[in-house]
Amino acid sequence: MFTLLKKEIRSFLSSLIGYIAIGVFLLLIGLFMWVLDSSSSNNSNVLESGYANIDPLFIIAPWVFLFLIPAITMRSFADEKKSGTIELLLTRPLTDLQIILAKYFAGFILVLFSLLPTLIYYYSVYKLGSPVGNIDTGGMWGSYIGLLFLGAAFVSIGIFASAITDNQVVSFILACFLCFFIYTGFDFISSFSLFGKIDNIILALGINSHYVSMSRGVVDTRDVIYFISLIAIFLIGTRTVLESRKW
């Protein structure tokens, strides 16, 4: 399993698309946080806001992840199917679950790689604070945990989308749609107030409410259970798709 995990990471980092995806993520976040003026970026410019925090990172990153993570995961199984190596992979002394987890953790590690450079933004705001260090470090780490859970959920969705097609473009579009719907779709449906008390349940089914809760710096057990359950559902769905070849 670990051999496959390392192979997946090397495969991604050896391709130009991998570096472009991570570079675009960091470029977009940097532009919104430090360059674009407040009127064009919804007060996301740290220098113009006058507050020592990096909240704009946690507001903008999920929207960039909607495209970045599907770009990372789109080739996970789709490329194996198209090239015909999926059968060779499935004949290895690995269970379907081990193969899925290897590809899943490879995707998650790459998301982690893309987030690590953003710690520079924290250090910059830490130094720019008046006095130096005037920043809610505890809240910042809580927000990073929320962002990691969000990224982990999107990776599981992307892996699932890649497993049901042999076309990388279709996988990318499907993953973007699923991530977008699960992130904001339930909020949109509940906003119509059509189902009374059930609207709160519908709202809780979406990622956004749980991510916003964790972005406040409070890591609630209910939010953690939600993300773990969502990840498990899509990984089980991916396993079901792979096992369907035996039916």
Domain span at 149: 2-246
In terms of phi and psi (left: phi > 0; alpha: psi -120 to 50; beta: otherwise), the region of 2 is alpha
Helix (H) or strand (E) holding 159: helix 137-163
pLDDT above 90 for 131: no
How confident is the model over 48-95, as pLDDT tens digits?
666 667 888 888 899 999 999 998 899 889 888 888 788 787 777 888
Among 8-17, 33-42, 61-70, 191-200, whose mean pLDDT is lowest? 33-42
For the chain, the first-to-last Cα distance in angstroms comes to 25
Domain count along the chain: 1
Half-sphere exposure of 2 (CA within 13 A, CB side): 0
pTM of the predicted model as reported, rounded to 2 decimal places: 0.90
Mean pLDDT on 138-145: 86
The Cα 22–Cα 141 span in angstroms is 21
Q: Which residue has the tokens 């830490």?
A: 126
